[in-house]
Copies of this chain bind each other. A is one copy, B any other.
Amino acid sequence: MNTDGPSAGGGISPGAGVPWLAGEGQSADVVLSSRVRLARNIAGVRFVGKADRRERMHVLEAVRARSTLLKNVGQLVWINLHESTVSDRTILVERHLISKQHSKSRGVNAEDPRAVLFSLPDERLSIMVNEEDHLRMQSVMSGLCLDACWRTLDAVDDAIGAALPFAFSPRFGYLTACPTNVGTGLRMSAMLHLPALRLTGELEKVKRAANDIALAVRGFYGEGSEAIGDLYQISNQTTLGKTEQEILAELHLEILPRVVEYERSARRELLSKRLSTIEDQVFRAYGTLLHARLLGTEESMTLLSMVRLGVVAGLITGHTQAKINRLLLLVQPGHLQLMWGKELDQEQRKVARAEIVRQELK
């Protein structure tokens, strides 16, 4: 295990993108990535919100010691976030290895002992330690593959749980800091690219339908974040009263395939009935990305969304989905600065972002 602390995200190679944005796997035209996470707490230790520094340190040590039990997940990296730099934490957030809350870049509790453990090279596994719960374990992969994510995470859960008893109630199941996670502690989600549903105005219908069956529709960075670049996370909200297999089957086999088909049908409709308008929007976005000298993060993502639609629809040739997905990550401030090799202020980032995008798309 690589135990270096704050060294550029602990071996992360920013230029290469992240495997979960590889544009591969089932339904990758619509589904960027699938994600499964489990919330767990160590039995007999106060929850993070109540824990003092000593208890937090104890949790870190306990998890870190058990990480040697994990097999077949690649090389593991441990990073103590309370000892890491802001820019390293930004990188980790942008790669979705930790949450914004766990990063606490500007919070009063930036010194609270907390860590992240993740696997290289493919980053399919990560465990946030001392986030809202003692352990927030997640597995993320490219395409629609909640089943594979679940298998990975289930094995991790078994391996750690066997050595480190989790807080569990026979009546409620796994106990968690927030009641919405009690039971399975499970959340499954997929990151979807839904530009056509936005353009045809049908996205609101999808959102309402999702809410009706207790699914949440959120933005690129999860809870509380705005949808930018037409990227949406759809996830289950119910963790109690259903088995993991039921939740998996419902999302992976029923609901997500239906949303995928809905988006595809909206794309077909746009391309047959509003081709010139769509071509115009796609190529204007492409032209702006190819020529702009100043680009903000959000505008870049909005433009990349249209270019991604153009690439998937075959309107733009010579670029892969993987490249456009990767650019969605590279335009984020942390990755941008890592690529550029130094800290940049906001104006400098706009220049650097435009330059990197031009180079990549040329």
| Residues in chain A within 8 A of chain B (CB atoms) | 276-277, 279-280, 283-284, 286-294, 347, 351, 354
CA distance A288 to B290 in the complex (A): 10
In the complex, the answer to whether B279 meets A287 with C-beta atoms within 8 Å is no
In the complex, the answer to whether B287 meets A290 with C-beta atoms within 8 Å is yes
**Distance from A10 Cβ to chain B, minimum over Cβ atoms (Å):** 34
A280: chain B residues at CB < 8 Å are 292-294, 354
CA distance A290 to B287 in the complex (A): 7
Q: Kindly identify which residue among B287, B291, B351 contacts A276, using a CB–CB cutoff of 8 Å.
A: B351
User: Interface SS of chain A: helix, strand, loop or mixed?
Assistant: helix
A292-B283 contact, Cβ under 8 Å, with A276-B351, A351-B276: yes
For A293, give the chain B residue with the smallest CB separation.
B280
CA distance A347 to B277 in the complex (A): 10
For A347, give the chain B residue with the smallest CB separation.
B276
**Distance from A43 Cβ to chain B, minimum over Cβ atoms (Å):** 57
For A283, give the chain B residue with the smallest CB separation.
B291
In the complex, the answer to whether B294 meets A287 with C-beta atoms within 8 Å is no
**Distance from A282 Cβ to chain B, minimum over Cβ atoms (Å):** 8
A292: chain B residues at CB < 8 Å are 280, 283-284, 287
A288: chain B residues at CB < 8 Å are 284, 287-288
Best-buried of A280, A286, A351 by chain B (most CB within 10 Å) = A280
CA distance A294 to B288 in the complex (A): 15
Some 22 contacts from A to B, beta carbons below 8 A apart, are: A276-B293, A276-B294, A276-B351, A277-B294, A279-B293, A280-B293, A280-B294, A280-B354, A283-B291, A283-B292, A283-B293, A284-B288, A284-B291, A284-B292, A286-B291, A287-B287, A287-B288, A287-B289, A287-B290, A288-B288, A290-B290, A290-B291
